[in-house]
A = this chain, B = another copy of it.
Amino acid sequence: MKLVWQRGAATVRDVYEVLLERRKIAYTTVMTMMKILETKGYLKKRRQDRAFLYRPAHPKNQIIRGMIREFIDRVFNGSAEPLLVHLVKSHHLRERDLQKIVRMVEESE
């Protein structure tokens, strides 16, 4: 659901129409979902004309980071290293690949 958010801001109708392409769903269902996301603090709303315009309450990066943390906690009891090991293994990463990433990150700092 939240992925539809990465279009900046959207009304219930916007989301509804996108979801409808993939599966049968009721308008009010989407509304309820968005309201829940709002009360949970993931979205904030603002009146725009007649409808509410929802937008993310926090920067995407922050949310993603939270999800990663939660995953690491749950699966690896909080330590990130094993996750890295797995990634390196199953994607056959070599030093070069990682260097590229480190460089990307360093440039953006």
Q: Which residues of A contact B (CB under 8 A)?
A: 61, 64-65, 67-68, 71, 75, 80-81, 83-91, 93-95, 98-99, 101-102, 104-105
B89 touches A68 (CB 8 A): no
Q: Which residues of B contact A85 (CB under 8 A)?
A: 101, 104-105
Q: How many copies does the complex hold?
A: 2
Interface SS majority for chain A: helix
Residues from chain B with a CB closer than 8 A to the CB of A94 are 102
- Do A64 and B86 touch across chains, with their CB atoms under 8 A apart? yes
Instruction: Kindly state the separation between the CA atoms of A78 and B80 in the bound complex, as whole angstroms.
Output: 19
Contact B90 A87 (CB under 8 A): no
| A81 engages B101 (CB within 8 Å) | yes
